[in-house]
Amino acid sequence: MPRERESRGRVIFHIDCNSFFASCEIARDPSLRGRPIVVAGDPKERRGIVLAASYAAKQQFGIYTTMPLTEAKKRCPSLVVRPPDFAFYREMSRRLFQWLERFPHVLERASIDEGYLDVTNRASIVHPLAFARHIQQGLLEQLSIPVSIGIAPNKFLAKMASEMKKPLGITVLRKRDVPHVLWPLPVEQMHGVGDKTARKLQALGLRTIGDMAKADRTLLERTFGVFGLRLHERANGIDPRPVDPEAAEKWKSVGNSTTLPHDADDEQELRAVLRQLAESVSARMKQKRVVSRTVQLTIRYHDFRTITRSQTEAAPLQTADDLFRAAARLLKRHWDGRPVRLLGVAALRVFDEREEGKQLDLFHYEEEAKAEALRKTVEQLRAKFGERALQMGAEWLSSNLEEKERGER
**Residues that constitute the known binding site for Mg(2+):** 16, 113
Q: Residue 357: its pLDDT value, please?
A: 44
**CA-CA distance, 189 to 125, in Å (whole number)?**
34
Closest CA to 298 of 347, 257, 336: 257
pLDDT band at 349 (very low <50, low <70, confident <90, very high): confident
Mean pLDDT of the chain: 85
Residue 398 domain flag: no
Residues 97 and 79 in one domain: no
**CA-CA distance, 34 to 27, in Å (whole number)?**
12
**CA-CA distance, 111 to 108, in Å (whole number)?**
9
Q: Residue 239: its pLDDT value, please?
A: 96
To the query of whether residue 6 is one of the catalytic residues in this protein, the response is: no
Q: Residue 375: its pLDDT value, please?
A: 52
pLDDT tens for residues 281-291?
999 888 888 88
pLDDT band at 309 (very low <50, low <70, confident <90, very high): very high
Q: Which amino acid makes up residue 363?
A: F
Higher per-residue confidence, 66 vs 381: 66
**CA-CA distance, 37 to 262, in Å (whole number)?**
57
pLDDT band at 124 (very low <50, low <70, confident <90, very high): low
Residue 218 domain flag: yes
Residues 361 and 325 in one domain: yes
Residue 407 domain flag: no
Higher per-residue confidence, 305 vs 239: 239
Residue 241 domain flag: no
Q: Domain of residue 144: give its range.
A: 12-18+87-177
Mean pLDDT throughout 111-116? 91
Looking only at the bridges linking them, the beta strands covering 12-17 and 114-118 are: antiparallel
Residues 66 and 102 in one domain: no
**CA-CA distance, 88 to 251, in Å (whole number)?**
23
Mean pLDDT throughout 231-254? 87
Residues 74 and 139 in one domain: no
The number of folded domains in the chain is: 4
Residue 268 domain flag: yes
Residue 409 domain flag: no
Q: Residue 379: its pLDDT value, please?
A: 55
Domain at 73, CATH number: 3.40.1170.60
Among residues of the chain, what percentage have pLDDT more than 90?
62
pLDDT tens for residues 161-198?
999 999 999 999 999 999 999 999 999 999 989 888 89
Higher per-residue confidence, 102 vs 159: 159
Domain at 134, CATH number: 3.30.70.270
Mean pLDDT throughout 305-325? 90
Q: Residue 143: its pLDDT value, please?
A: 97
Mean pLDDT throughout 222-248? 90
Q: Residue 48: its pLDDT value, please?
A: 77
Residues 361 and 287 in one domain: yes
Mean pLDDT throughout 46-75? 89
DSSP 8-state code for residue 401:
H
Residue 118 domain flag: yes
Higher per-residue confidence, 351 vs 251: 351
Residues 338 and 258 in one domain: yes
pLDDT tens for residues 24-34?
999 999 999 99
Residues 256 and 349 in one domain: yes
Mean pLDDT throughout 99-115? 89
Among residues 235, 266, 301, the one where a domain terminates is: 235
pLDDT band at 351 (very low <50, low <70, confident <90, very high): confident
Residue 386 has pLDDT above 50, yes or no: yes
Residues 345 and 271 in one domain: yes
Question: What is the three-class DSSP state of 108?
Answer: strand
Residue 373 domain flag: no
Higher per-residue confidence, 365 vs 220: 220
Mean pLDDT throughout 133-150? 97
**CA-CA distance, 351 to 206, in Å (whole number)?**
33
Task: Name the least confident of 2-6, 97-101, 188-192, 396-400.
Answer: 2-6
Which residue of the set 114, 279, 355, 356 is catalytic?
114
pLDDT tens for residues 205-216?
999 999 999 999
Residues 194 and 291 in one domain: no
Residues 186 and 258 in one domain: no
Residues 209 and 279 in one domain: no
Question: What is the three-class DSSP state of 344?
Answer: strand
Residues 190 and 230 in one domain: yes
